[in-house]
Amino acid sequence: MEKLTSNFIRNKYLEFFKEKGHTIIPSASLIPENDPTVLFTTAGMHPLVPYLLGEKHPQGTRLVDVQKCLRTADIESIGDATHCTFLEMLGNWSLGDYFKDESIEWSYEFLTSPKWLNIDPKRIYYTVFEGDDVCPKDMISYNKWLELGVSKDHIYFLPKENNWWGPAGETGPCGPDTEIFYDTLKPKCSENCSPACDCGKYVEIWNNVFMEYNKLVDGSLVQLKQKNVDTGMGLERLFSTLLDAKSVYDTELFKNTINKLEELSNKNHTDKQYEKSFRIIADHIRTAVFVLGDERSVVPSNTDQGYVLRRIIRRMIRHLKNIGITENVLPELAIIVINDYCDWYPELKKKQEFIVSELNKEEMTFNRTITQGIREFNKQVEKLTNTTIPGEVAFKLFDTFGFPIEFTTEMAAEKGITVDLEGYKKCYLEHQEKSRKGAEQKFKGGLSDNSVETTRLHTTTHILHECLRKVLGTDVAQNGSNITAERLRFDFSFGRKMTAEELKKVEEMVNEVISSNLDVICEEMSVEEAKEKGAIGLFENKYGERVKVYSIGDFSKEICGGPHVKNTNEIRNFKIQKEEASSAGVRRIKATISK
C-alpha cells in the first residue's frame, strides 16, 4: 500500500465513493449559513439538512465529502487519545437513493478490501440498534453484516443511547445507526467490556445513520418522505487507528505543531505532567486557525462564534504557560498549521495574514489580563483574614482574568497559603450549568427552521443585497448573513458608514421591489452558466459543479441553497432597524418586515 498519509485517506475515500456513483462536493463553511440556531457546523449532515428533508440537491442523490466540523461539546475531553474540537468528517450521502444494504456493503468493502484500506476484519466490531416502541430492532443491518462474513460475536445490539443519531438540534432528521469499531487490542477492562464501553479498547471509527425520521417540536417522530443515509467517519480517528498510533496527536496531523512546542518549551510531550497541555494546545491552535480562516469571517469577541473562538484561544494560552512558554507564540504556531493544511484547504493560505494578526492581537490582550489578574490576586491576599483563598475569589480570577486554578494554587503556595478548591469547584459547576443552559438555548428550534418568517426574510435578504449594490456600487459583497424568524442581519463589505439618505434610498428600493409582485424562480445550472448569467454569490467552494440559482424577477440573481418565497407579494413593509460597523471594512444591517 502507498504511504499512509491524511491526503491518501481523503483521496481514497472520495475515489471509492465516486466509483460507487457519488458526486464529490466541497466542504461547506464551518459557520452555518442562514441558520441562527447553531453556532458551528458540528456534523457533516448540517449543511445538507434541507436535502435530507426532501429538497432536491443540485448535485444529485449520491454525494460524498470531507466536511470541516467543530464540536465544543467535547472540549473537556480534549487531551484524551481520540477527541478533537475541530475535525474532518468523511461522509457519504444517500438522499432518498440507496439504503442499508448498499451502505453497509460499501463500508465493509472500503475498510477491508486490499484495494482500499485493507483492515483486518478480525479487528472490526459492529453495533446495531436494538429497537424501541417507535423503531423496530434493526435486523436488516444485523443480517447484512452476517451476510458479509462478520461473525455473531462481533455484533452487539444496543439501545437508543448508543445507536441513534440526531437530530443535531431539537428537531430535524434522525434515525437508527450502525456503528463500526476498531479493536485496539488493549486488554478488556472487564468481563462485560464491549463497544458500548468507553475504556478505550474499542474505538468508534464510522457511523452509518439511516435517517428516515423527522423529529418535530413536540418530540414526536414522523417518517420522512425519503429514506436517507448519512455516514460519518472522523479522519483523525481513522488515521490514528490505521497507524496503531497512541493517539490522534501522534499522527502527521499534529506532529509539526507538537515538535515546535517541544522545541519552544524544552519539554517532552509524552511527559505525563505535560501531555494534556501539549494536546490541548495542538488541538486548539488548529481549531482557531480553521475558524479564523473560514470563508465567513469570525473574530474573537464576547458573543456567539466569536466567544467560542476567544475561549479556545485563551484556554490555549493558559496551557502554553503550563508547559512554560510565556512569550507570544501563536502566530508562529498558526503558520505551522496553515502550511500543514493549505494543500487541502487553500483558504487558509489566502487568509494567513488575517489569521496571524487576529491571534497576535488576542494573545497580547490576554497576556495583559493575566498581569491584571496577578494584581487582583495580590490585593485579595492582602485582604485575607485567614490563610485560605475563598472559592469565589479563585473563580473570579478564573472567570474574569482567565486565571487557571493551577496558577492560583501555585502562587498561593509560594505565600504559604491555600485555596478553597471545593468552593472553587462549586462556583465553577454552577457557572457551567448556567452556560450549558445558555448553549442549549442556542439550539432551540433545531436545524430545520424553514419557517415562513425565516423564508420571507431570506428572500428579502437577496433583494436588500441587490439594492445595496445598486445604491452603493457593485463592490458591495455579502460577508455574512444570519436570519431568525424576527429579523435579518446582513454583513457586507463597504468602507464607511452609510448616510441617512443612502439608507432611505435602499429601504425605499427594497419596498418597491417587494410591491412589484415579482416571481421567485429557482434554476439549476453549472457554476460557469451561473457566472455567465451574472448571478452573484460565493462561487468557490460552494456546492461544486451544479448549483441552484434563485432569480427574483429580473431584479436579482443569486447562487443559493434556498428556501425562498414563490412571489415577493408574500413580503411586506421592509424596515432597516440599524446600520453599524461589524468589523474593519464590513458593515452590518439589521432589518425587519411585517409578520
Binding of residue 65 to ligand SER (CB under 6 A): no
Among 231, 257, 277, 322, interactor with ligand SER by CB under 6 A:
231
* Binding segment toward ligand SER, per CB under 6 A, in 70-78, 125-133, 224-232, 567-575: 224-232
Q: List, in sequence order, every residue forming a beta bridge with 278; answer none if it has no partner.
A: none
Binding of residue 209 to ligand SER (CB under 6 A): yes
Residue type, 389: I
Min separation Cβ 215 and ligand SER, Å: 14
Residue 494 near residue 477 (C-beta atoms within 8 A): no
* Binding segment toward ligand SER, per CB under 6 A, in 38-46, 47-55, 251-259, 472-480: 38-46
Residue 167 near residue 174 (C-beta atoms within 8 A): yes
Contacts of 575 (CB under 8 A, 6+ apart): 507, 591, 592, 593
Min separation Cβ 68 and ligand SER, Å: 13
Q: List, in sequence order, every residue forming a beta bridge with 129; answer none if it has no partner.
A: 158
Binding of residue 44 to ligand SER (CB under 6 A): yes
Describe the chain by its helix, strand, coil percentages, rounded to 5. 45, 20, 35
Task: Report CA dihedral (340, 342, 347, 348) to the nearest 10 degrees.
Answer: 30
Among 36, 47, 91, 169, interactor with ligand SER by CB under 6 A:
91
Residue type, 116: W
* Count, residues in the chain: 595
Binding of residue 230 to ligand SER (CB under 6 A): yes
Short-list 343, 68, 90, 122, CA closest to 208: 90
Closest residue to ligand SER: CB criterion: 232
Considering beta carbons, is residue 178 or 352 the nearer one to ligand SER? 178
Min separation Cβ 49 and ligand SER, Å: 11
The number of beta carbons lying within 10 Å of the beta carbon of residue 589 is: 23
The Cα–Cα gap between 141 and 129 comes to: 9
Min separation Cβ 168 and ligand SER, Å: 8
The Cα–Cα gap between 318 and 274 comes to: 13
Count interface residues toward ligand SER (CB under 6 A).
10
Considering beta carbons, is residue 165 or 345 the nearer one to ligand SER? 165
The Cα–Cα gap between 463 and 483 comes to: 14
Q: Which three cell numbers stand for residue 22?
A: 457519488
Residue 296 near residue 27 (C-beta atoms within 8 A): no
Considering beta carbons, is residue 31 or 261 the nearer one to ligand SER? 31
Binding of residue 207 to ligand SER (CB under 6 A): yes
Binding of residue 142 to ligand SER (CB under 6 A): no
Binding of residue 87 to ligand SER (CB under 6 A): no
Considering beta carbons, is residue 86 or 403 the nearer one to ligand SER? 86
Residue type, 462: H
* Binding segment toward ligand SER, per CB under 6 A, in 54-62, 147-155, 227-235, 449-457: 227-235
Considering beta carbons, is residue 446 or 480 the nearer one to ligand SER? 446
Among 172, 232, 373, 402, interactor with ligand SER by CB under 6 A:
232
Among 43, 238, 316, 412, interactor with ligand SER by CB under 6 A:
43
Q: How far is CA 227 from CA 134, 218, 224, 307, 539, in A?
A: 16, 22, 7, 37, 30
Binding of residue 313 to ligand SER (CB under 6 A): no
Binding of residue 213 to ligand SER (CB under 6 A): no
**Which parts of this chain interact with ligand SER (CB under 6 A)?**
43-45, 91, 165, 207, 209, 230-232
